[in-house]
Amino acid sequence: MCVSVSASADEMESLAQDVFAQQKQAMIEHQIRARGIADTRVLDALQKVPRHEFIPVPLRHEAYTDRPVAIGSGQTISQPYIVAYMLQAAAVRPSDLVLEIGTGSGYATALLAELAQAVVSIERFPELGRNAAELLARLGYTNIQIEIGDGTLGFPQRAPYDVIFISAAAPHFPPALLQQLAIGGRMIIPVGDATNQELQLITNTPEGNLLRRLEGCRFVPLIGEEGFRTSFD
């Protein structure tokens, strides 16, 4: 009797994983590739990382939908397309050291870890940071360092960074983060207020910072000394 129940549970888990695999493939084809994401390294990373693992269990049926999903502490995991778009725009290389601001669930952290040599990720909420660290370790990532703190100040101990990847909207470019960007480095950041935000890409060149304006977006606020002081109402 016990063997039968165990086998049934295993079969149900296998079926669930098959469903998630199908949903992930559909996400990549219809939400990502069809909307212009052509970077093969980004597409491969999306294929490797199980997004449903980063979603609270009651909401896992939404894991591969084209929308943000709540993850607790008033935060969300961004829609898959916008994460892929930011990764492609940042042009993360295998040799890069990446600073991520806003670990959240750890999903974008995992994608960055697939693309870069190493990732330092800063999370403001201790519970989210701990949960992400435990999950990423369970999934086998060894090139990620998660810190709890004010992301607007960065992590100067390991600067300069080749890529700074910011997953929350700031009212302006945090000066501390600009100072931690390597020559040739790229910083991608949503800039704006609660209702009007735009993704912007800054490249640090010997002649100064080059700004490229990308598409509109909607993110939670970047709270901190060089960001917003309070959450959006």
* Helix (H) / strand (E) containing 110: helix 107-115
Strand ranges for the chain from DSSP E: 69-72, 75-77, 97-101, 118-123, 144-148, 161-166, 181-192, 197-205, 208-217
In sequence order, the 6+-apart residues with CB closer than 8 A to the CB of 170 are 152, 189, 190, 191, 221, 222, 226, 227, 228
Continuous segment of H or E residues that includes residue 81? helix 80-90
Beta-strand relationship, 181-192 and 197-205: antiparallel
56 DSSP assignment: -
8 is catalytic: no
Q: Which of the following is catalytic: 78, 105, 121, 167?
A: 78
Name the residues annotated as catalytic. Answer: 78
